[in-house]
Amino acid sequence: MSFAIRTQQLTVSYGGEPALWNVDLEIPELSMTGILGPNGAGKSTLLKAILGVIPRLSGSVDVAGTQNTPVAYVPQRTTVDWDFPTTVLDLVMMGTYGRLRWFQRPGRQEREDAMAALEQVRMTEFADRQIGELSGGQQQRIFLARAFVQQASIYLLDEPFAGVDAKTETLIIEILRQLRETGNTIVFVHHDLTTVRSYFDHVVLLNRRLIETGPVGDVFTEENIQQTYGVMSHSLLEKKLTDGQGCDA
Ligand code: ADP
Ligand code: MG
């Protein structure tokens, strides 16, 4: 198996207890990989560590194919300032900045690429709207369009379905499947355990430590789900009580 992303002994801390602890994983090239775990498990932190936008305490991150911009990132929609005064088209064109030289301004080609990406997410008619006027599902779609124009080979998305309607979710998953079929690796944080088997072929179960990772059929088991979402926090609770620290977890 050749990997798109590999972490070895990855530890990330924001100052206190590590948000990620000794995480070893390989995400296969051309896979559709799900990052699963409870709130605070370090899922967003993992994506940011892969992007290299937060410092590691220790360990390493390798991304295959280090040419230009191998990785495109779609942040969690709720972490974005939607009041920022910009149009849909301008926001999508920002995705092309990585391939421009510093003295170049986006031109006709960039504009065409941005319009093509908007077409892909069926948002062409919104090109001149302010981003603040969009619904949650529409916001998610233009962020996806902004990722497309980056011409990456690995796409990282943080909870792309949070706050979007069922119809948009279907549209987005179809787009991601196509993207994968045309030779890309797709990695996204996901919460709905009922769709895990149909969406992913590979999963990462995370709760600050790596619980398990591998093909969805092998790894997405009752026992591992329990460990990721339940048993782990229970044992943590016991530990805290025995340590006499009370419970803040
Ligand atoms: P998830 O995405 O799985 O919900 P996060 O990666 O956002 O989890 O957060 C993991 C842990 O790191 C949480 O305890 C969170 O409070 C903490 N954390 C995340 N970002 C920061 C930050 N910028 N500063 C301090 N702590 C943070
Ligand atoms: Mg998160």
**Which pLDDT belongs to residue 201?**
97
CA of 37 to the centre of ligand 2 (A): 9
Beta carbons of 9 and 59 less than 8 angstroms apart? yes
Distance 213 CA to ligand 1 centre (A): 21
Strand order in the sheet with 3-12: 20-28, 3-12, 58-63
Give the pLDDT confidence of 51-110 residue by residue, as tens digits.
998 989 999 999 986 556 689 999 998 888 888 889 999 999 988 877 666 666 778 888
**Which residue has better confidence, 103 or 222?**
222
For residue 189, give the ligand 1 atom closest to its CA. Answer: 2
121-146 burial code (b ≥16 CB/10 A, e <16): bebeebbeebbeebebbbbbbbbbbb
Q: What one-character DSSP code corresponds to residue 34? A: E
Dist. CA 168–CA 161, nearest whole Å: 8
Task: Tell the burial category of 79 from Cβ atoms under 10 Å away from its Cβ (0-12, 13-18, 19+).
Answer: exposed
| Residue 33 alpha carbon to ligand 1 centre in Å | 21
Question: Is a pLDDT exceeding 50 seen at residue 232?
Answer: no
Closest ligand 1 atom, residue 208 Cα:
10
pTM of the full predicted structure?
A: 0.88
User: Mean per-residue pLDDT for 33-58?
Assistant: 95
All domains of the chain, ordered by start, with CATH?
1-69+153-249 (3.40.50.300), 81-152 (no CATH)
Count CA atoms closer than 13 A to 206's CA, side-chain side. Answer: 29
